[in-house]
């Protein structure tokens, strides 16, 4: 992470200076101050670069005087539109424009007017988020090609207050980085046992960590989850993480729970994916990565809330022991599942972990995250995650938190018409619907059958877990989408107060489906894991590229039992 410091505004002795400006600041006192210190170069540079301060605009002036190597101007747009997201974007834009500088100062005063000490801390957060880089396996990169920026000093009127604000943001950034690192790792390194071992390190932050191995899961009866891993040489793991940050011990107080899908590599199993793009399936564990990063963030900032995080970790491989399409498995809940497609495996993992979470912890609510379906990319592209929920209040809190941090979620429907599509002729249910239409929705309907009336939300992050290009605060690659959203939701609505037991939620009001799509054969309607669906590229549980046809492929489990996990 970048070394961040806060200081009173002074001319740096060397390095670069970043000057974020609104459209209203041009010609104002802030520009005049720096113009005087730099011998008139600022005003001339602004004019020569035709810099207007528009949002997203930037310009670099080289050797502007005063011993500086460069001056970077960053446009903020209209002053009345400034918020935390704008401040973070300014910090990210500054890092992107600093090139080969090793040290830089950012003048935050244009942002901090009215924003107190928060805005300078937000600028620092944007800078560190954008500067992150996964280069563990780069061994021949030339020194001149490597980023050199090691430290940023944020100039503001109250450095002490900004530093205090920065402490919690730094903890969240550390959580984001943990997620990005896990999601970026290749699958030959990050298999289920290795993933679980890395999560033990959270104990240093005060998180209680339990690791369940193959025999533990068999004894518990995790037939649905184990059917996914049985074709792999890598044994499965379930990790339970607990952060007890509340000082309230009321009998009716309940923890809140987050659950992540952790398929460390997804070949599709017997329902194997096409070769093109299959390398992307190393990040089919992004949901588990987000839950891990969230737990690190909450513990790192000592959040006053009781939280449990559970991740189901498996590898989905084809072999002589793999689950076959048509197999029937028994889940931890006792419900039986006909596995039609072994590439619809993520929901099989979540089924057992959600059931276990509900039975053991009886949480106030559960939120699960998964790179679940390619169909959600067809529906929403790479701009929004799909949000499904049986509780309107929980769904609204998630959406509001997402808007606050720039991680957007779009509410999708649930309903009986979709649920009927996963009825099986020989078991309680099948793991995919009967056609291409509504593949993300039928996947959510499947998961909902295992929440046992608990308020619940499912976030399908297939389109947002990985980015093919840089954005303001997210470099190309693993995004860690969801860490900041869920941390914000906890902070805004659940921290510092007991979460009381609540009645089972009333089903969210949703119009009956006008078209079920059960008999659709149109190639324009895409879904996952059906005989008619031929994925154009591999998909996690039916995911990967925006253009792919979603086709999840599942597997079959072995019978589990019941024992305390190995620590």
Here the tokens at position 341 are 């497609």
Residue 146: how many CB atoms within 10 A of its CB? 11
Annotated ligand binding at 403? The verdict is: no
Annotated ligand binding at 345? The verdict is: yes
Please tell me the chain's helix, strand, coil percentages from 3-state DSSP, rounded to the nearest 5.
35, 20, 45
Check 153, 254, 273, 488 and give the catalytic one: 273
**Non-local CB neighbours of 31 within 8 Å, separated by 6+ positions:** 19, 21, 25, 42, 43, 46
Angstrom distance (rounded) from CA 354 to CA 351? 5
Print burial letters for 112-142: b (CB count within 10 Å at least 16), e (below 16): beebebbbbbbbbbbbbbbbbeeeeeeeeee
Check 70, 130, 301, 347 and give the catalytic one: 347
Nearest 5°: phi and psi at 262? -130, 70
Given a contact cutoff of 8 angstroms between Cβ atoms, the answer to whether 210 and 240 are in contact is yes
DSSP string, 207-274: -EEEEE-HHHHHHHT-HHHHHHHTTSSSPPEEEEEEEE------TTB--EEEEEEEEEEE--TTSPPP
Angstrom distance (rounded) from CA 397 to CA 135? 36
User: Has 249 been annotated as catalytic?
Assistant: no
Given a contact cutoff of 8 angstroms between Cβ atoms, the answer to whether 58 and 83 are in contact is no
**Non-local CB neighbours of 59 within 8 Å, separated by 6+ positions:** 45, 46, 49, 51, 72, 73
Annotated ligand binding at 181? The verdict is: no
User: Has 347 been annotated as catalytic?
Assistant: yes
Angstrom distance (rounded) from CA 356 to CA 220? 9
List the catalytic residues.
Answer: 273, 347
Annotated binding site for Mn(2+): 261, 266, 284, 343, 345
Which segments are annotated as binding site?
A: 261, 266, 284, 343, 345
């Amino acid at each position: 992470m970048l070394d961040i410091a806060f200081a009173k505004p002074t001319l740096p002795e060397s390095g670069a200076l970043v000057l974020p400006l609104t459209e209203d600041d041009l010609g104002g006192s802030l520009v005049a101050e720096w113009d005087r210190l730099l011998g008139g170069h600022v005003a001339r540079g602004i004019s020569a670069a035709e810099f207007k301060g528009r949002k997203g605009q930037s310009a670099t002036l080289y050797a502007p005087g005063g011993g500086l190597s460069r001056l970077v101007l960053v446009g903020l747009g209209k002053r009345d539109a400034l918020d935390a997201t704008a401040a973070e974007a300014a910090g990210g834009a500054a890092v992107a424009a600093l090139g080969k500088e090793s040290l830089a100062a950012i003048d935050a005063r244009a942002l901090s007017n009215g924003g107190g000490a928060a805005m300078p801390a937000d600028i620092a957060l944007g800078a560190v988020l954008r500067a992150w880089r996964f280069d563990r396996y780069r061994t021949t990169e030339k020194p001149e090609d490597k980023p050199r920026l090691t430290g940023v000093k944020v100039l503001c009127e109250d450095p002490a207050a900004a530093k205090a604000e920065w402490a919690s943001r730094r903890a969240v950034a550390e959580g984001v980085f943990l997620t990005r690192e896990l999601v970026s790792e290749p699958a030959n390194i990050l298999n289920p046992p290795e993933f679980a071992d890395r999560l033990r390190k959270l104990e240093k932050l005060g998180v209680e960590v339990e690791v369940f191995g193959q025999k533990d899961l068999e004894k518990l009866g995790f037939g649905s989850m184990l059917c996914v891993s049985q074709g792999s040489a890598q044994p499965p793991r379930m990790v339970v993480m607990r952060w007890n940050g509340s000082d309230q011990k009321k009998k009716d107080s309940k923890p809140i729970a987050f659950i992540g899908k952790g398929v460390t590599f997804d070949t599709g199993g017997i329902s194997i994916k096409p070769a093109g793009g299959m390398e992307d399936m190393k990040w089919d564990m992004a949901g588990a990565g987000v839950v891990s990063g969230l737990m690190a963030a909450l513990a790192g900032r000592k959040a006053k809330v009781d939280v449990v995080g559970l991740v189901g970790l498996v590898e989905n491989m084809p072999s002589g022991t793999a689950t076959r399409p048509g197999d029937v498995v028994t889940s931890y809940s006792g419900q039986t599942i006909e596995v039609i497609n072994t590439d619809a495996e993520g929901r099989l993992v979540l089924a057992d972990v959600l059931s276990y979470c509900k039975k053991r912890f009886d949480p106030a609510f559960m939120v699960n995250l998964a790179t679940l379906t390619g169909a959600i990319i067809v529906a929403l592209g790479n701009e929004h995650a799909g949000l499904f929920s049986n509780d309107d209040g929980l769904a609204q809190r998630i959406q509001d938190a997402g808007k606050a941090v720039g991680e957007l979620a779009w509410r999708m429907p649930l309903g009986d018409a979709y649920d009927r599509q996963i009825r099986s002729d020989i078991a309680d249910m099948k793991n995919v619907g009967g056609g291409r239409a509504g593949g993300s929705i039928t996947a959510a309907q499947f998961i909902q059958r295992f929440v046992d009336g608990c308020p619940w939300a499912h976030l399908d992050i297939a389109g947002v877990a990985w980015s093919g290009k840089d954005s303001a605060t997210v470099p190309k690659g693993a995004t860690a989408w969801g860490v900041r959203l869920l941390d914000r939701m906890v902070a805004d609505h659940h921290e510092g107060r007991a979460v009381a037991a609540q009645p089972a939620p009333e089903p969210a009001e949703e119009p009956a489906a006008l078209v079920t799509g059960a008999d659709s054969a149109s190639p324009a309607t895409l879904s996952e894991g059906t005989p008619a669906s031929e994925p154009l590229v591999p998909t996690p549980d039916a995911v990967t590229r925006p253009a792919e046809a979603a086709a999840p492929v599942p597997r079959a489990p072995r019978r589990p039992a019941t024992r305390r996990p190995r620590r």
